[in-house]
Amino acid sequence: MNGLTERDILTFGAVADTFFASVPGPNGFWTQSASDLGLLPRFRRLLSSLDDQTTSDLHDALKLLSSRGGGLLMYQRPARFTDLSGDARREALLRMARSPLLAARQLYGTLKQLTTALLATASPGAKRGPLWAAMGYPEPPPAPAPEMNSDVLRLTQLKRTTTLSCDVVVVGSGYTGLMGALTLARGGRDVLLLEAESIGYGASSRNGGQVGSGNQRFTVKQLTDLYGRDKARALILEGIAALDYVKSFIADENIECHLRVNGRFRGASRPEHYENMARDLEDLQDVGGVEAQMVQRGEQTDEIGSELYHGGMVLPCDASVHPALYVRGLS
């Protein structure tokens, strides 16, 4: 079996419309489902570029969701995904995400990634991202001329084995390498920055652009259990200082990278998440004086125009940047 059947494509469309369902709201963005955003034609175009093995794997995976036996295995309901109601589809995907069966969790991850990637990326040659209009994003400004910052970074392409001399070699031109090289060069060192691809090729130019103090992956309690109270406190304070530093660095250096201090909302997807966040916030304020507040479910519409979450935490000092423009500014 090489190609996908129409039923496979319908099943994928139903899954994508469950991940990106139409949700009524004041600002219009979430009212558009995956189908409204043109996902299926993009999926069909993608299929024509996949190799036979990948297509066949995708067919086998989608076939599981379009049979009663597959439904029983994947989400414990002997029903095709497309025959389920909207709520039951959501429940089925959640069951797959939490399933003890590795294959079910993997299929959930693959379908979610595929849907998100198809929605977030434009087709080859397109000048506009498919989500821009729905987000009210006009378009990025033209990139500054490359020579703009060339007084700092001089580029040389190394095509063969070469001997170079310098004080310090920095490997990798992401945020870490660029900031390290800049600091060393400004401190009078002769710095050689090596990059295997192009400047900022890695995560630094392609991330979500959220600038925060970093206190998300671990709670204060987890950090304290791991490293002890003093080190946990030092790490949290370092994060808070880093947030202030990035904002003032961008302003001082006049880096055009769409810096906006628009704050961040961290939504609680379950009631117990809200309680955990509230407890962690008390610890954060106690240990490091992090500026944030909890917002209950009834009040979150004022923050995000949605009642989807069980409340959440607002971090008013968090910011966002255009990651690739920040890389360009650093270089």
Ligand X SMILES: Cc1cc2nc3c(=O)[nH]c(=O)nc-3n(C[C@H](O)[C@H](O)[C@H](O)COP(=O)(O)OP(=O)(O)OC[C@H]3O[C@@H](n4cnc5c(N)ncnc54)[C@H](O)[C@@H]3O)c2cc1C
Q: Give the other-Cβ count within 10 Å of 36's Cβ.
A: 12
Q: Which of 173, 213, 300, 331 binds ligand X (CB under 6 A)?
A: 173
Cα separation, 22 vs 284, whole angstroms? 36
Cα separation, 290 vs 228, whole angstroms? 19
Q: Which of 172, 267, 288, 329 binds ligand X (CB under 6 A)?
A: 172
Rule CB under 6 A: is residue 149 a binding residue for ligand X?
A: no
Rule CB under 6 A: is residue 202 a binding residue for ligand X?
A: yes
User: What are the CA-CA distances from residue 96 to residues 2, 7, 264, 302, 308 (Å)?
Assistant: 26, 20, 29, 33, 21
Cα separation, 67 vs 78, whole angstroms? 8
Q: Binding string to ligand X for residues 181 to 200, with x set by CB under 6 A, is what?
A: -------------xxxx---
Rule CB under 6 A: is residue 208 a binding residue for ligand X?
A: yes
Cβ proximity to ligand X: between 201 and 227 the closer is 201
Q: Report in angstroms how near the CB of residue 243 gets to ligand X at its nearest.
A: 10
Q: Report in angstroms how near the CB of residue 198 gets to ligand X at its nearest.
A: 8
Q: Report in angstroms how near the CB of residue 31 gets to ligand X at its nearest.
A: 25
Rule CB under 6 A: is residue 318 a binding residue for ligand X?
A: no
Rule CB under 6 A: is residue 171 a binding residue for ligand X?
A: yes
Least Cα distance to 100 among 66, 131, 75, 137 occurs for 75
Cα separation, 25 vs 3, whole angstroms? 38
Residue with tokens 């991330």: 207
Supply 229's token pair: 């109270």
Rule CB under 6 A: is residue 331 a binding residue for ligand X?
A: no
Cα separation, 293 vs 278, whole angstroms? 8
Rule CB under 6 A: is residue 204 a binding residue for ligand X?
A: yes
Supply 121's token pair: 């990326």
Q: Give the other-Cβ count within 10 Å of 120's Cβ.
A: 10
**Exposure class string for 252-262: b at 16+ Cβ within 10 A, else e:** eeebbbbbeee
Q: Which of 13, 71, 174, 267 binds ligand X (CB under 6 A)?
A: 174
Q: Report in angstroms how near the CB of residue 162 gets to ligand X at its nearest.
A: 14
Cβ proximity to ligand X: between 149 and 207 the closer is 207
Q: Which of 29, 201, 218, 227 binds ligand X (CB under 6 A)?
A: 201
Rule CB under 6 A: is residue 265 a binding residue for ligand X?
A: no
Q: Identify the DSSP state of 30.
A: G
Cβ proximity to ligand X: between 173 and 331 the closer is 173
Rule CB under 6 A: is residue 227 a binding residue for ligand X?
A: no
Cα separation, 255 vs 102, whole angstroms? 45
Rule CB under 6 A: is residue 158 a binding residue for ligand X?
A: no
Cβ proximity to ligand X: between 84 and 246 the closer is 246
Listed ranges 105-113, 120-128, 171-179, 302-310: which one lies at the site for ligand X (CB under 6 A): 171-179
3-state secondary structure of 103: helix
Cβ proximity to ligand X: between 209 and 263 the closer is 209
Rule CB under 6 A: is residue 27 a binding residue for ligand X?
A: no
| 40 alpha-carbon distance from chain centroid | 22
Characterise 108 by phi-psi region: left (phi > 0), alpha (psi -120 to 50), beta (else).
alpha
Q: Report in angstroms how near the CB of residue 319 gets to ligand X at its nearest.
A: 10
Q: Which of 27, 106, 210, 296 binds ligand X (CB under 6 A)?
A: 210
Question: For residue 295, which amino acid is it?
Answer: V
Contact set with ligand X (CB under 6 A): 171-177, 194-197, 201-204, 207-210
